[in-house]
Chains A and B, each alone.
Chain A
Amino acid sequence: MSFQANSSRHDMAAPGFGQSYDPFADLSRSADDIDEALDFEDTYDGLGDTLDETDDAFNDDTFGGDTGGVSHAPVGKDFDFFGQTAKVANAIEEEHQRFSRQQPAPKSTQPSSSQTYNSGYAYQPAPKPARTGYEKYKSEPVSDLQVDASIWGVQPKKATPVAPAQPQPAAPAAPPAGRKMMSLEEVEAAMRAQAKAPAQPQQPQPQLQAPSQPGPEPQAAFPHAHYSHQEPINYQQQQFDNRQPRGFYAPDNQQLPQGAAHGHPIAILQRPSTKSIPSNGPSVPSSLPQQHQPAPMGFPTQILQNPNRMPGEPNRMNLPTHPTHRSQNSFTRQPQAGANQAHLSHLSEQEKASFLEAEARRAKRNHKIHVLSKDNGLMTPQDKSFITRIQLQQLVSATGDPSEHGTDAALAEDFYYQVLSSLRAGQRPNPNQPLNNFAQTYLFQTGTRHGGMRRQGRGPENHMQRMEQQVQRAVEAAKNKPKNKQLVIEGSLGKISFSNAKTPKPLLNIKRTESSTETTRPGSGHRSHPTTGTDKKETLQNIEKVYLTLMKMEDLDRNMPPPPPNGGPDPDFERRAELQQQLQQLNEQLWNELKVHEPIGATSVHPFIAFLSYPKGKKAIGRVFNHLTLEQQTTILTIIVIHLDQLDVVRGAQVQTGEPINLNAATRESIELFIVAVMPSLLHLLSKSELHIVTGVLGLITQNLNVDLVARTRIGVSMLTMILSRAELAKQAGQATEQSWQQWVATFNQFFNALEPTLPNIFPGTVASGEDIYVWQFLAAIGIGASPEEQQRLVLAVKDRVMDTVSLSKTLPPDMAKTRLDNVNLFMRSIGLDVELLNN
């Protein structure tokens, strides 16, 4: 029918039509562009001539001419179906929805047709001519794209029923059209009711429809979504303007009785409405007419509705959380506005202005919301969570498991950063135990992490929770997923290696077999001392083993649950015991790796001394001592003392008084390191040791070692100073028994006798070199413990150096002179003298 009408027009009366709208002619032209005129003539069947083109009898059916003159203008001049359709797409959709909803519910025809006709007029004319074209464009892609129609509500369903419905009932157009018009009234009513009682008015229709259409739930959900966001604002306002005189009052008069008939359910349903707009006089009764529909099944409706709305995506509707928010606003406000506009005349100019301003602001906001929400509902929740999962998994694989932060896994991956930032964040209680305040750091870190996420997602809290749950789930999924590092596609020649930041793509894939380890290095077969056990590589490997064990022990220490509050029961008793046991095993392992118990003299250099000769071996001592028992520590001290002359820092590090210090840089460095890394541990140990141990150590030195060699090195002197001063401190603190003190004095005398010839030679460099402070300290330590007779011998031995220093200090600037004299005074005062005496 419609095609006939088109072709008749195309041909003759209105040439404008033929030019502006003849897509088929265009097609044929472009396909066959040699001579179009001939082509047209050939293909023209002359049917047009037989048509009665003067009769416009069916134009109305085709072009929706039932609306009168207005419809002709757009149809006649611009025959762009799709463009037209696009302009009014929203209205069409609404029409469709309304139509399909209404068919089984003809109740809504009650308001007079003339009223609805007027109200619908504003947007009615355009959709009809455009409809056929619209269906073609719209329905096809939709059905193509939608695999699962149910997730989209009833959109495809809605489109198909309407397509036949529109052209065919066109002949008996008037009555259905009238019905449709009626329903517009209902649309308005629905909107009004939504404003007042967001849940109520539209329920009956979905419910009534339920038997006739499958999937009542999505359908019921859809109208709300549809109304709430797809109508253009201007349409709403237009509608409102039309409605104002009628929408509020006319239905009022007409339908109030009906509403009253269903008094009880109304009362229930209406409660929210009266609450939400208490001031709006007219609108309250106007909600009654709609109530007459839900009323008969008011209670079931409500039940039905809540399940619909609750799962309905908040994004789309915002009903459950914010009934008067976003898209809803357009409906809540309009009736209010209408009522207010009715009262505008009563307001002052200022109030009017402010009201209008507020109105404008609201309209602007609504428009913005509308624009923002035009794509709402495009993705189902499933789609969204799917995308989210993908993103999260990528995140996890790229940056690591967020839930792992603060755990051992994170520590393994990010050790340096985690520890260092913990060190910087908190104070360092003990330089030798840097790993103890981790927990604090981790809290700090996860805290910032969370903060960052919170700042980004400003959404409600439950959204964050959902997000976190999703992260957890994604992480678990990623964990459970078998990790294939390579993919071999069937039939392909190569492999595809995956990589991420944590596990870079391996460029070389060398599998070293056991045999190859031996064959790959024939050159290293000639070891210098394969049997001594002190060969460099082996020693270095030993050191590394010690470090690995140390780190394991430190990890255990860190994981050790905090001790229970004093006296209380220990909830972590089992765990603590278990860790202690592991620590004990590691301690044994460490002790074996240190090789302290290797027989002395079995090898040219004792393994432990070899261990100490490397800088990292020295550095390990401090940490090793933290994990050794006092007995083990004492054993180490003994080993060091016995081999004192073999230490790299003693052997070849002797100085000669008066000669320039000619130590090479490496030795100097290693002496410094020994002082920094090893001596404090030994000092700490000695300070805890009994006097008889100190005595024993000094005896070892005196009897087993070349005192001259030892005393002429800085480390040797420092060690001796340490021993002597500890004995003196023990005596002063009253820790020494008479017997042990006697032993000490005897040993000391032996030592002094051995040392005395060396005394003049223990000063490093010349007087001017000024590196002799540790010697003065040593002399002071001797002087304190020495008998008066020994003190005299001591003074005699070092007298020259004292005098030289004093005379040198006179030529030096005052501050330097003072430093030198203070050094000397360390010694002088220990024997009851002072350099001041010498100056006179």
Chain B
Amino acid sequence: MLFFSFFKTLIDHEVTVELKNDIQIRGTLKSVDQYLNIKLDDIQVVEEIKYPHLSSVKNVFIRGSVVRYVHLPAAAVDVPLLEDATRREAAQQAGKGK
């Protein structure tokens, strides 16, 4: 749940989602679910000339499984907190594993 938890905090921030087919879409993150499906608003394709068919698309729903990277706004990430959250998650998983 860490990634879900993390992406929830990025809602209403601008992110760039790089898909596994190399398309990069920049837009405002509107919603994310536990499968890391992503809803973007006001999108803009990074290499618009290459993908003209997307130039008139305003918002997208991206299935989580086709996402390669999400470029994060660094200012919106609280690194120490994320580290702690990661520790907790790891501790939890270790606890479950036993």
Complex Cα distance A420/B77, Å?
A: 9
At the interface, yes or no: A619 with Cβ under 8 Å from chain B?
A: yes
Complex Cα distance A420/B9, Å?
A: 7
Interface of A is mostly: helix
Complex Cα distance A544/B87, Å?
A: 8
Please, which residues of chain B bring their CB within 8 A of the CB of A551?
A: 84, 87-88
Most B C-beta atoms less than 10 A away, residue of A414, A416, A421, A434: A416
Given the known inter-chain contacts A398-B34, A415-B85, A551-B87, please indicate yes or no for A421 contacting B9, CB distance below 8 A: yes
At the interface, yes or no: A147 with Cβ under 8 Å from chain B?
A: no
Given the known inter-chain contacts A547-B87, A551-B87, please indicate yes or no for A417 contacting B34, CB distance below 8 A: no
Contact with A along B1-12 (1 / 0, CB 8 A): 110111011000
Complex Cα distance A414/B5, Å?
A: 5
B87 and A501 within 8 A (CB): no
Contact with A along B66-85 (1 / 0, CB 8 A): 00000000000010111111
Given the known inter-chain contacts A417-B9, A551-B88, please indicate yes or no for A501 contacting B35, CB distance below 8 A: yes
Contact with B along A397-434 (1 / 0, CB 8 A): 01100000000000011111111110100000000001
Given the known inter-chain contacts A412-B92, A417-B5, please indicate yes or no for A619 contacting B80, CB distance below 8 A: yes
At the interface, yes or no: A529 with Cβ under 8 Å from chain B?
A: no
A420 and B78 within 8 A (CB): yes
Contact with B along A7-26 (1 / 0, CB 8 A): 00000000000000000000
A502 and B1 within 8 A (CB): yes
> By the criterion of a CB under 8 Å from any partner CB, how many residues of chain A are at the interface?
22
At the interface, yes or no: B46 with Cβ under 8 Å from chain A?
A: no
Complex Cα distance A418/B91, Å?
A: 18
Quick one: closest A residue to B86, CB to CB? A416
Complex Cα distance A414/B82, Å?
A: 11
Determine how close the nearest CB of chain A comes to the CB of B55; give it in whole angstroms.
Answer: 34
Given the known inter-chain contacts A413-B1, A501-B34, please indicate yes or no for A548 contacting B91, CB distance below 8 A: yes
Determine how close the nearest CB of chain A comes to the CB of B76; give it in whole angstroms.
Answer: 9
CB within 8 A of A417: which of B6, B33, B87? B6
Please, which residues of chain A bring their CB within 8 A of the CB of B1?
A: 413-414, 501-502
Complex Cα distance A419/B80, Å?
A: 12
Given the known inter-chain contacts A416-B81, A420-B78, A619-B80, please indicate yes or no for A501 contacting B88, CB distance below 8 A: no
Please, which residues of chain A bring their CB within 8 A of the CB of B5?
A: 413-418
Determine how close the nearest CB of chain A comes to the CB of B91; give it in whole angstroms.
Answer: 6
Determine how close the nearest CB of chain B comes to the CB of A499; give it in whole angstroms.
Answer: 11
Quick one: closest B residue to A399, CB to CB? B34
Q: Give residues of chain B (1-54) contacting chain A, Cβ–Cβ below 8 Å.
A: 1-2, 4-6, 8-9, 33-35
Complex Cα distance A97/B33, Å?
A: 52
Interface of B is mostly: helix
B87 and A420 within 8 A (CB): no
B81 and A434 within 8 A (CB): yes
At the interface, yes or no: A616 with Cβ under 8 Å from chain B?
A: yes
Quick one: closest B residue to A400, CB to CB? B1
Quick one: closest A residue to B77, CB to CB? A420
Complex Cα distance A434/B92, Å?
A: 21
Complex Cα distance A816/B33, Å?
A: 52
Given the known inter-chain contacts A501-B1, A501-B34, please indicate yes or no for A412 contacting B80, CB distance below 8 A: no
Number of A-B contacts defined by CB within 8 Å: 56
Determine how close the nearest CB of chain A comes to the CB of B11; give it in whole angstroms.
Answer: 10
Q: Give residues of chain A (189-233) contacting chain B, Cβ–Cβ below 8 Å.
A: none
Given the known inter-chain contacts A413-B5, A416-B9, A420-B9, please indicate yes or no for A548 contacting B35, CB distance below 8 A: no
CB within 8 A of B88: which of A412, A421, A502? A412
Most B C-beta atoms less than 10 A away, residue of A412, A415, A421: A415
Given the known inter-chain contacts A398-B34, A399-B34, A420-B78, please indicate yes or no for A415 contacting B84, CB distance below 8 A: yes
Determine how close the nearest CB of chain B comes to the CB of A404; give it in whole angstroms.
Answer: 12
Please, which residues of chain B bring their CB within 8 A of the CB of A547?
A: 84, 87
Most B C-beta atoms less than 10 A away, residue of A398, A414, A616: A414
Please, which residues of chain B bring their CB within 8 A of the CB of A416?
A: 2, 5-6, 9, 78, 81-82, 85
Determine how close the nearest CB of chain B comes to the CB of A436; give it in whole angstroms.
Answer: 14
Complex Cα distance A233/B10, Å?
A: 55
Please, which residues of chain A bring their CB within 8 A of the CB of B89?
A: 415
Please, which residues of chain A bring their CB within 8 A of the CB of B83?
A: 616
Determine how close the nearest CB of chain B comes to the CB of A818; give it in whole angstroms.
Answer: 31
Complex Cα distance A416/B82, Å?
A: 6
Complex Cα distance A501/B1, Å?
A: 8
Complex Cα distance A370/B34, Å?
A: 42
Determine how close the nearest CB of chain B comes to the CB of A193; give it in whole angstroms.
Answer: 55
Complex Cα distance A399/B33, Å?
A: 9
CB within 8 A of B8: which of A398, A417, A616? A417
Quick one: closest B residue to A416, CB to CB? B85
Q: Give residues of chain A (361-418) contacting chain B, Cβ–Cβ below 8 Å.
A: 398-399, 412-418
Complex Cα distance A101/B5, Å?
A: 62
Determine how close the nearest CB of chain B comes to the CB of A673; give it in whole angstroms.
Answer: 12
Complex Cα distance A343/B66, Å?
A: 72
Determine how close the nearest CB of chain B comes to the CB of A92; give it in whole angstroms.
Answer: 50
CB within 8 A of A423: which of B34, B78, B85, B92? B78
Determine how close the nearest CB of chain B comes to the CB of A343; give it in whole angstroms.
Answer: 59
Please, which residues of chain B bring their CB within 8 A of the CB of A398?
A: 34
Please, which residues of chain B bring their CB within 8 A of the CB of A399?
A: 34
Quick one: closest B residue to A554, CB to CB? B84
Please, which residues of chain B bring their CB within 8 A of the CB of A420?
A: 9, 78, 81
Please, which residues of chain B bring their CB within 8 A of the CB of A501?
A: 1, 4, 33-35
Complex Cα distance A551/B8, Å?
A: 22
Complex Cα distance A391/B70, Å?
A: 32
Complex Cα distance A421/B9, Å?
A: 7
Complex Cα distance A399/B89, Å?
A: 17
Complex Cα distance A738/B81, Å?
A: 47
Please, which residues of chain A bring their CB within 8 A of the CB of B35?
A: 501
Complex Cα distance A84/B92, Å?
A: 67
Please, which residues of chain A bring their CB within 8 A of the CB of B33?
A: 501
Quick one: closest A residue to B80, CB to CB? A619
Please, which residues of chain A bring their CB within 8 A of the CB of B91?
A: 548
Determine how close the nearest CB of chain A comes to the CB of B28; give it in whole angstroms.
Answer: 17
Determine how close the nearest CB of chain B comes to the CB of A428; give it in whole angstroms.
Answer: 10
Determine how close the nearest CB of chain A comes to the CB of B45; give it in whole angstroms.
Answer: 29
Complex Cα distance A548/B81, Å?
A: 13
Complex Cα distance A436/B2, Å?
A: 21
Q: Give residues of chain A (498-522) contacting chain B, Cβ–Cβ below 8 Å.
A: 501-502
Complex Cα distance A616/B83, Å?
A: 10
Please, which residues of chain A bring their CB within 8 A of the CB of B34?
A: 398-399, 501-502
Quick one: closest B residue to A619, CB to CB? B80
Please, which residues of chain A bring their CB within 8 A of the CB of B6?
A: 416-417
Most B C-beta atoms less than 10 A away, residue of A399, A413, A421, A616: A413
Complex Cα distance A414/B8, Å?
A: 10
Determine how close the nearest CB of chain B comes to the CB of A542; give it in whole angstroms.
Answer: 14
Complex Cα distance A823/B80, Å?
A: 34
Complex Cα distance A74/B7, Å?
A: 68
Please, which residues of chain A bring their CB within 8 A of the CB of B2?
A: 415-416
Contact with B along A537-566 (1 / 0, CB 8 A): 000000010011001000000000000000
Complex Cα distance A413/B81, Å?
A: 14
Please, which residues of chain A bring their CB within 8 A of the CB of B92?
A: 412
Please, which residues of chain B bring their CB within 8 A of the CB of A421?
A: 9
Determine how close the nearest CB of chain A comes to the CB of B30; give it in whole angstroms.
Answer: 16
Quick one: closest B residue to A622, CB to CB? B80
Determine how close the nearest CB of chain B comes to the CB of A790; give it in whole angstroms.
Answer: 43
Residues of chain B touching chain A, judged by Cβ–Cβ distance below 8 Å, are: 1-2, 4-6, 8-9, 33-35, 78, 80-85, 87-89, 91-92
Given contacts A416-B5, A548-B87, 9 further A-B contacts (CB under 8 A): A398-B34, A414-B1, A414-B8, A417-B6, A418-B5, A420-B81, A421-B9, A423-B81, A619-B80
19 A–B contacts, CB within 8 A, in A order: A398-B34, A399-B34, A412-B88, A413-B5, A415-B5, A416-B6, A416-B82, A416-B85, A417-B5, A417-B6, A417-B9, A419-B81, A419-B85, A420-B78, A420-B81, A421-B9, A501-B35, A548-B91, A551-B87
Residues of chain A touching chain B, judged by Cβ–Cβ distance below 8 Å, are: 398-399, 412-421, 423, 434, 501-502, 544, 547-548, 551, 616, 619
